[in-house]
Amino acid sequence: MKRLFYLAWPILLAQFALNGLGLVDTWVAGQAGATELAGVALGSNLMLIVLMFGTGVLMVLSPLVAHNLARSDDHSELAAWLTSARISGLVLGALAVLILGGLSLLLPQLIDAQTDIVKVAQHYLWAIIPGMAIFFIYDGYRFFWEGFGKTQLTLAFSFIAFLLNIPLDFFLVLGVGDWNGLGGAGCGVASSVLMILVTVGSHFYLRKDTAFASAWRGKWSREYLRRLWALGLPAALALIFEVSLFMVLSLFIAPYGAVALAAHQIAISITATLYVIPYSLSMAAAIETGRLLGAAQLADLKYFVRQSLLLAGICGLGLAALTFMGHDLLPQLFSQENEVIAVASALLLYAVAYQFFDALQSMAAGLLRGMQKTRFTFIATLISYWGIGLGSGVWLAHHGHDVQGYWAGIVLGLSSAALLLMTRLAVWWHRHPT
């Protein structure tokens, strides 16, 4: 388990740094006014879905590379994986440009919001498109070097981006001297600049690091590109199912009024921040699973699977205890309105009920990803989140439970996902006796 922690702690800190980028954007945009903040929130939520899809496709690369490194001393396949990652990054970047560009043009017809808010969101999307066009190349590089176990590189690039984002946001959003800045669009410009910088920086780093020298020699392989997408597409869709569920719930909750929606957003913000911990452990577990599978160390792999699930369960219980102890206090960090605080506090109690299962399903998904079994995760999350979770939430909400009914649906959905994914791991376990 030492190797799991060795891989996980830089990923965890990197995720906190990336979350910090969003927090800085939110705070600085808020200083520019409520309209600018609302526009940035709308634009960034749309961008996040596209970003999560691309990340989901490429995240399967790290266990594949770890598997390749452990299986043989012949690292000729690494060039094929790296080239496939670059090609995929370019394809995903082109898709991001088309999707975000199209959404920005269609926003006035799609969103029933104030014209000024829509304009800010449009300007934000236009500003971030140049960065998104090449950012997935960085994602490919990132998951490639994480397959080597070099997760500290991810932390370094994420931390540098976080530090640079602070002055960029202040300058571009609020301006300096006689220049008033760009408002909410400045957040998009800052993010775009950072995306370009980390992509260019990671490219030159990989070119100069001797550990990756052999990976630059070789041509692209249609077979490796096909394998990357065959595993990555189901993983990406599974990730989108989870992320988009909470966004869609916001649309269902909006008719209940501003208090309910604000409380929902506060509860989501708190739980999403805590979820970074099991998510980072899951990312690290996928890499180590790929390595053990490649080395054909079945006994060690089964021990690792058992210990990883135990660790995830302990982590989930710890987060549940932390949330329970702070369910009255934490919402006060986000709002001063007693009614909002009371509703958010009640919703966090539902989070207490699902955090154990959420940690387990996250770890199980990571282990299955490391075993190159992403298709089942896709099916399980579709059934659990959108079938059981959303379906039961809507039913409960319309039978007298209102907003809390939707959160009860989240509990049922995440519990179902954990049960299905754990069952799939149990099947694998019994099919591979030691």
| pLDDT tens per residue across span 331-348 | 888 777 888 889 889 999
Q: Does the structure show a pLDDT above 90 at 413?
A: yes
Q: Considering its fold, how many domains does the chain have in total?
A: 2
Q: Which two tokens stand for residue 335?
A: 């709002």
- DSSP 8-state secondary structure symbol assigned to residue 296: T
Q: Give the pLDDT band of residue 79 (cuts 50, 70, 90).
A: confident
Identify whether 167 is part of a domain: yes
Last residue of a domain, one of 220, 252, 281: 220
Are 283 and 66 contacting, i.e. CB atoms less than 8 angstroms apart?
Answer: no
Q: Is residue 214 part of a domain?
A: yes
Give, as one character, the DSSP assignment of residue 149.
Answer: T
Asked if 139 and 55 count as a contact pair (C-beta separation under 8 A), the reply is yes
CB 288 within 8 A of CB 311: no
Are residues 114 and 189 both part of a single domain? Answer: yes
Residue 334 gets which letter from DSSP? T
Q: What is the pLDDT of residue 151?
A: 93
361 and 338 co-located in one domain: yes
CA distance 322 to 348: 11
Task: Show which of 169, 191, 220 is a domain's final residue.
Answer: 220
Share of the chain above pLDDT 90, in %: 60
The answer to whether residue 41 is domain-embedded is yes
How much is the pTM? 0.91
- pLDDT average, residue stretch 133-155: 95
> Residue 266 contacts by C-beta under 8 Å, 6 or more apart in sequence?
331, 334, 335, 340, 344
Looking at residue 114, its pLDDT comes to 58
Above 80 in pLDDT, residue 280? yes
Q: Which of 373, 349, 361 is nearest to 242 (CA)?
A: 361
331 and 382 share one domain: yes
254 pLDDT more than 90: no
What is the model's pLDDT at position 269? 82
State the pLDDT confidence band at 418, using cuts at 50, 70 and 90: very high
Shared-domain flag, residues 61 and 209: yes
**SS3 helix, strand, coil % of the chain, rounded to 5?**
90, 0, 10
> Taking 60 as the threshold, does the pLDDT of residue 113 lie above it?
no
What is the per-residue pLDDT for 29?
A: 83
Q: Which 3 state secondary structure label does DSSP give 179?
A: strand
The residue ranking higher by pLDDT, 273 or 219, is 273
Give the residue numbers spanning the domain of 202: 1-220
